[in-house]
Amino acid sequence: MSESTTCWKCGGPLQELLLPLARHEECPHCRAQLHVCRMCVYFDTSVSQQCREPVAENVSDKQRANFCGYFQVNPQVCAGPSDQAADSHRQLDALFGDGTSGEASSSEDELRKQMEQLFKK
């Protein structure tokens, strides 16, 4: 397999595997099944049934091994953290604090004071 091909689930390298992938082939790193829609060049979440192959039968579980005859390994696939996910995490840390800095506790103290004033009798 190509040097750049990686597992769809863990992003681990798959250069030791031979093509075509057997139906029950697993990632040597995370043991995820590899003959899955998520690992195929036709997998596309933006189209109907998440497959760009128009005559392929629908596969309900895109993360489990299947018998699709149109399956072709997508060397560019990797489910590692995306930039968008990392950006979301940064935004949440900015809003709620990441628990490692004193900023979060001072914000909590301030919020607690506001809440006590709000519910003061």
pLDDT per residue over 38-80, tens digit each? 999 999 999 989 999 999 999 999 999 999 999 999 887 775 5
- Residue 26 pLDDT: 93
pLDDT bin (cut points 50, 70, 90) of residue 89 is low
pTM above 0.85, yes or no: no
Residue 3 has pLDDT above 70, yes or no: no
- Helix, strand, or coil here: 84? helix
Distance of alpha carbon 88 from alpha carbon 70, whole angstroms: 35
Measure the CA–CA gap between 6 and 80, rounded to whole angstroms. Answer: 10
Extended beta strands in the chain, E state: none
* Highest averaged pLDDT of the listed ranges 37-46, 75-84, 95-104, 107-116: 37-46
For 34, the token pair is 């590899």
State the pLDDT at residue 87.
61
Backbone phi, then psi, for 62, in 5-degree steps?
A: -75, -5
